Copies of this chain bind each other. A is one copy, B any other.
Amino acid sequence: MITKEQIVDDYQSIQDEICTALEILDGKAKFEQELWQREGGGGGRTRVIQNGNIVEKGGVNFSAVDGQLPEAIKKSLKIYQDDFFAAGVSIVIHPNHPLVPIIHMNIRYFEMPSTFGGMKEPVRWFGGGIDLTPHYVFEDDAKFFHSSLKATCDKYNSGFYDRFKKWADDYFFIKHRNETRGVGGIFYDRLTATEETSWDDIFEFSKAVGRSFAPIYTELVNRHKSEPFTADQQQWQYQRRSRYAEFNLVYDAGTKFGLETNGRIESILMSLPPTAKWLYNYQPATGSEEEKTLSLLKKDINWA
């Protein structure tokens, strides 16, 4: 039986490991930490890194909150219990270099006491994912990214990658633009034990997803950080970032949850880009790298 304490300990370790790796990767900027407490129960460690060699703005946040669920959330999650416990690690990195991709990772655990039929087992699940949003899509990077995720998934369940890859395609989709946020990745929610995969396996899988972040992003950064780039490419980066803001503010479930539960607003919206541009009706030139990128922001591309 996995305990809340184990989850908190391991998730905090993962936060620590990732922050250390990102500071080494960046070589200049250091994380600043803010500890916060939630009225109603729990709190978190918000860690932000800014204006580095690589990272223009990034956050690696841990939180573990408990208490009573607000009515609005009970309704939206279609659950009827009052008490809950939720813990997670959540990351968004906006690099300053337009050829280095934006990346997002989240692992989370949710638990409520069961009130059905006198059962003693809590209702609980794991969720999470990791997805990549290149300003310019490089096919080799997308292949490397997806192959790495597939390898992580395959260790725990041979069906995970296909299921969670499709889930990411559907989730990280900007409906009003008819484009995916980036090249996808994996996304899963309400993952529970089955005959095939025990609770321990799922917990180990959750940690493996968390621990895949640093080596994957290090590789992707190192592939591109020394490449020269133009002012036009930087402008395109700012435009792509505005799509990122659109996704997070219009569709992202975690952001909505945070806004509706009066979470710590600067932690929730840490994911938003440092600078974003909305140009009216911008159309990339025919045959350009920008046009190619748009053509690859589609669901159901088999990258692995």
Contact = CB atoms under 8 A, between A and B. Distances in A.
Contacts of A268: 176
Interface in A245-304: 245-246, 249-250, 259, 262, 265-266, 268-270, 272-281
A276 B246 CA distance: 12
Contacts of A242: 272, 276
Contacts of A275: 238, 275-277
Contact of A280 (B48, B246, B259): B48
Nearest to A94: B278
Give the number of copies in the complex. 2
Nearest to A248: B249
Contacts of A249: 245-246, 249-250
B246 A250 contact: no
A76 B115 CA distance: 33
A265 B249 CA distance: 16
B281 A266 contact: yes
Contacts of A34: 281
A128 interface: no
Nearest to A49: B280
Contacts of A272: 242, 278
B278 A274 contact: yes
A280 B50 contact: yes
A95 interface: no
A177 interface: yes
B245 A250 contact: no
Interface of A: 34, 48, 50, 57, 59, 175-177, 238, 242, 245-246, 249-250, 259, 262, 265-266, 268-270, 272-281
Given A59-B280, A176-B265, 8 more contacts: A50-B280, A175-B259, A176-B269, A245-B276, A249-B250, A269-B278, A276-B276, A276-B278
- The 4 A-B residue pairs whose C-beta atoms are closest, nearest first, are A249-B249, A272-B278, A266-B281, A176-B259
13 contacts: A48-B281, A59-B280, A176-B259, A176-B262, A177-B265, A246-B249, A246-B269, A249-B249, A250-B259, A266-B280, A274-B278, A274-B279, A276-B277
